[in-house]
Structure 1
Amino acid sequence: MTHQAQGYPASSSLGVEPLLLPDITHDAVVVVPGIMGSELFDTHSGKVVWGLSNSRWLTRAWLTRSGMTPLRLTPEEMAGDYGRIVARRLLKTPAWCPFLNGFEPYHDLLWAIRSAVTHCEAILPFPYDWRLPVAAHARALATAARDHLTRWRQHPAQKAARERSVDQQEARLVFIAHSMGGLVTYAALSLGGDGDLAEDTRGVMTLGTPYQGSVVAANILNAVQDNTLLLPRGTLATVAATMPGVHDLLPRFVCLEEGDTVRKLTPSDVAALGGDKELFRTSQEFFDRLCRDPMPHLQPIAGVGQATVQSMRLNAGLVCSSEYGFRADRHGELKRDEHGRPARFPVKGDGTVHRASASPLPRTPTLYGQHGALASGKQARSAVASFLADEDYLGQLQADRGLGLKVPDYVEVGAKWDLAITGTDSPAGISCTVAAVDTRYTRIFPASADGNNRLRATCSVPSVGLYRVTVTSGHSPDLTQLVFAGPKGTEYLDD
């Protein structure tokens, strides 16, 4: 797709007015998705093992005994032989995962980027095998970005757009990264083996990147030890225990409560909660190296307003997570209340990554939205387009007061379940819709105040599948979240 200058001639004493040039960039753009945001193909079986043309594959993946088995790392992969699985493209259809909830595909984001560049060939999507450690992708992304920039600088559209630019500077790179993709980008720029890549990068925008990790990763690894949890959660935990990528997302901030103190996780803690001690130790060593230098040219975006776990306790090997966190003063001392106990702060986030983890910078633009949909929402697309057009991006205003949405990640077909809308106690102007992703089922559920400065709606769905919850309001950005519905009981379906 190319952009042509458009304008409207008008009479004047000097003749026809000049045409208006489009507000676009001639830079090269690299899009790096988040965890589970890439389609994975098994070269041994010849089958797609994550991400298909519709979301019905999720039923087989999560509700059959062998559905997630292809995602387990083999002994060869654990030893560093990563040739079995190939990431072929960005996620094309909605997906879902216990604890992480839903993931929206990236076509809306890509469309917004196409409208802000001079030619579609300026865009490089970078799918990757998110099961693997972040470190494994550093050199691959650095090489792909360098090759992309070299090709784009020779493209006729780049050369023509460069001549119209203010300083006529040669095209540089802009990275747009969601979630885990921000860590992959960080690794590529700092440890990817291309010493000039940072200098050839104009900017990096990250959306919901867990720079300090997330307690949600601990919940994922721990699920197999809690036999009260529903079937898909245990299925995920068994597979995730082999994945270095999940261990890279474990919290690296002070989060573990023990009596009157709070500390960081240790490898022994990770082993106790169901993870792999050595995978976490390797992850810690990697991030120690990575964080010696700040990410260059960074503009983070943080999701806010959503209930987000930020701390945890370990009780006999079981994770009890909480929606509050802790803070230290400028000397590194933990803030305490008048009784000497660690002070608790209910800082929210995007439902997966709490606000403080989503940015290493003190002042960060914020958006109201759920983690899996953060990169596809209207506000995010607008911020990305602005970032691409403006070389000196100052960031949009902080998010206006908005709503929060909290839904179960897994529900049973035919059973009633509640969703909560926070940030208001008035149902006026609020619409709550539940729609099936793959069928025409759509239903509006009324929301009413529950007396705790929030609204509650009681919902149900008729069949197994993936459903999108959408909350709209005249005074807040739309909120969406994906919910997976399975059969009653805890028995696997037939393979």
Structure 2
Amino acid sequence: MGSVLEDAATGRPLWGVDLATLTGALSGEARFAALRADAQEQAADAETARRSPLTRVRATGLLAKPWWLPVLQGLDPYTETVRALHGVALAPEAVAPFPYDWRLAVAYNGALLARAARTHLTRWRERVAARPEWAAAGARQPRLHFVAHSMGGLVVRAALEQDPELAADTRAVVTVGTPFLGSVKSVLALNLLHAQAKPGRLVRRVQAMAATLPGVHDLLPGYRCLDRGLDIERLTPGDVARLGGDRDLASRSLAEHARHRANGFVLPGHRAVVGEAQPTMQTLDEQRGRAGLAVVAGRQHAFDVEAAGELVRDPATGIPARRDASGDGTVHLPSARTGTEAVTYVYGQHGTLMRHDEVLRQIRRIALERPQGPHLGDGTGDGPGLETPHLGGTFGEPLILTATGLDSPAGATLSVRSATTGRPGHPLTLHRAPNRTDGALSASFTPDAPDLYRVTLDTGRHTPVTQLVLVTPPDA
């Protein structure tokens, strides 16, 4: 979701510019309708990108202001990331942002990235060759260094798989919160209409859009995630269609997961930055909703699989053994790692990782080829976590905000402020959360206006954990 999109014919902004797209009664309807993928966009693949790139929607830049979607939640801009890379590059022109139409297939965008990266590398090498003083100062033959967040890591993998020569010219790939095995949140986004008794205006628009998008289907979990009680199954295209998605798009995406399991492509110089300790949906429990519609609920536990592919089971009951694998609130830990990379763990939410001080520090260190710094996390999932309403809030109704992983509220503060104006809010008082058995702490916040709010949990010992929450006016 991190690229600004516009209508190529009219220049009308469609995504990432005007918050009224998310909160408006009428204007958002037309924009969400325009974001739905048509038949040509759904069929676009790597060959399409190489021969005849699509032109209906244009990606104009990286996100420059906070954004938000139901279920997928908040996303911070990439301004701080670009600034951090400028600070360690030989010159600002060495850094090339790559906005892309995230609605479309990963393979399509990978082909576009491969071409853009080759063009950029060629031009930069020419620039370096024309500056003999840089060579005298020890500048080496330039190679590529990718820094990618979320789906961006999948796009980088696609680009390097499609172009082995580009992979050979790549020094390092840094992925931050990339769902290599997918995320169950993509299924929850497709299932929105089924799951909500009275879906709100924004929820209806998002589901209608998501059901048409190859990009959303490319985030489907490829691991065993559907809890059948005595067995845990992988999703099938029929499952996805029953839960609100598109059968054909799901078939293509799940086939890609199977191909990656078989091939095991290794990203060159891969370093993964992984968020942990955040309450994260990891598997799905299917139920029956109103009118017989299939409904899935996300569960905060995963299942281990032995080397032979068999589920780890409780020896006494034979029931699959459940455990909380933790994650960044969107991507659980096993999905954010490929098993062949160096990993840095941080306490942070998926959409706000790219402005997280520790993530920025690691990105700079990796770019400078310095040894990895000390980790904030350790991969165990123990640490401060933040949980906010994944469907947002409605003006006039209180939001329940929850802090996890804390022994007590002593020394911890939870605060809310406007993410659009910076208007500060007041610290909230944390109490033991009712109806929770994990010792979580919670606070209630009643917003005074529809807005995008930033929630911050500060323990005084770690980099603060933040998340964004959209509060909309009541539906008419």
Given candidates 174, 182, 187, the residue that maps to 2:145 is 174
Q: What is aligned with 1:216? A: 185
Instruction: Decide whether the 8 Å contact of 1:92 with 1:105 is kept in 2.
Output: yes
Specify which of 302, 305, 310 is matched with residue 333 of structure 1. 310
Amino acid at match of 1:273: L
Distance, in Å, in 2 between the alignment partners of 1:149 and 1:159 is: 18
Contact 2:66 2:420 in 1 (8 A): no
Matches of 2:69 and 2:21 in 1, distance apart? 13
- Kindly provide the amino acid, as one letter, of the partner of residue 140 in structure 1: L
RMSD of Structure 2 on Structure 1 (CA): 2.1
Return the alpha-carbon distance in structure 2 between the equivalents of residues 290 and 346 of structure 1.
25
Q: Which residue of 1 aligns with 2:14?
A: 49
The one-letter amino acid paired with 1:318 is V
Between the two proteins, the alignment pairs up a number of residues equal to 449
Q: State the 1:321 CA deviation.
A: 1.6
Q: What is residue 342 of structure 1 aligned with on the other side?
A: 320
Indicate how the Cα distance of structure 1 residues 39 and 339 shifts in structure 2: closer, same or farther if over 3 A, else same.
Answer: same
1:471 partner amino acid: L
- Structure 2 gaps, min length 5: 45-52, 289-293
* Identical amino acids, percent of aligned pairs: 38
Correspondent of 1:459 among 439, 445, 462: 445
CA change 1:487–1:118 in 2 (3 A) is same
Match of 2:383 in 1: 402
Structure-1 residue corresponding to 2:427: 444
Distance in 1 (alpha carbons) for counterparts of 2:4 and 2:87: 25
Match of residue 320, structure 1, among 294, 297, 300: 297
Question: 1:455 offset after TM fit, Å?
Answer: 1.6
1:38 aligns with 2:3: yes
In the alignment, what sits opposite 1:236? 206
Q: Displacement, 1:67?
A: 4.2
Three-state SS of the structure 1 residue aligned to 2:448 is coil
- Structure 1 CA distance, aligned partners of 2:433 and 2:106? 43
In the aligned structure 2, how far is the partner of 1:184 from the partner of 1:263? 27
Task: Report the equivalent of 2:337.
Answer: 359
Task: Provide the rounded CA distance (Å) in 1 between the counterparts of 2:369 and 2:30.
Answer: 49
- Aligned residue in 2 for 1:14: none
Corresponding position of 1:28: none
Give the Cα separation in 2 of the matches to 1:116 and 1:460: 42
Deviations 1:174-216 (A, max 9, x none): 000000000000000011xx33111111000000000000000
Q: How does 1:279-290 map to 2 (within 5 A)?
A: 279-290=249-260
**More displaced 10-residue stretch of structure 1: 460-469 or 229-238:** 229-238
Distance 1:369 1:184 in 2: 23
Question: Alignment partner of 2:159: what SS?
Answer: helix
Higher normalized contact order (CA 8 Å, seq sep 6+, divided by chain length): 1
More helix by share: 2
Question: Who is 2:48 aligned against?
Answer: none
Mapped partners of 1:122, 1:76: distance in 2: 35
Deviations 1:307-347 (A, max 9, x none): 10111122231112200000111221100012100100111
Q: Which of these residues, 391, 396, 409, is aligned with residue 427 of structure 1? A: 409
d(CA) in 2 for partners of 1:470, 1:63: 31
1:432 deviates by 1.5
What is the CA deviation profile of residues 138-184 of structure 1, one whole-angstrom value per residue up to 9, with x for unaligned ones? 2211111111111111224875444333xx53011100000000000
Q: Do the aligned residues in 2 keep the contact of 1:177 with 1:185 (CA within 8 Å)? A: yes
The 4+ residue runs of structure 1 with deviation greater than 6 A are: none
**Contact 2:110/2:156 (CA < 8 Å) preserved in 1?**
yes
Structure 2 counterpart SS, 1:124: coil
Instruction: Assess if the C-alpha contact under 8 Å between 1:254 and 1:265 holds in 2.
Output: yes
| CA distance in structure 2 between the partners assigned to 1:62 and 1:343 by the alignment | 48
Deviation at 1:354, TM superposition (A): 0.2
1:86-235, aligned counterparts within 5 Å? 86-156=58-128, 160-165=133-138, 169-191=140-162, 194-228=163-197, 230-231=199-200, 232-235=202-205
> Which structure 1 segments of 5+ residues have no match?
1-35
Tell me, in whole angstroms, the C-alpha distance in 1 between the residues paired with 2:319 and 2:26: 42
TM-score, normalising length from structure 1?
0.86
> Any conservation in 2 of the 1:425–1:449 contact (CA below 8 Å)?
no
- CA 58–84 in structure 1, closer or farther in 2 if over 3 Å, else same: same
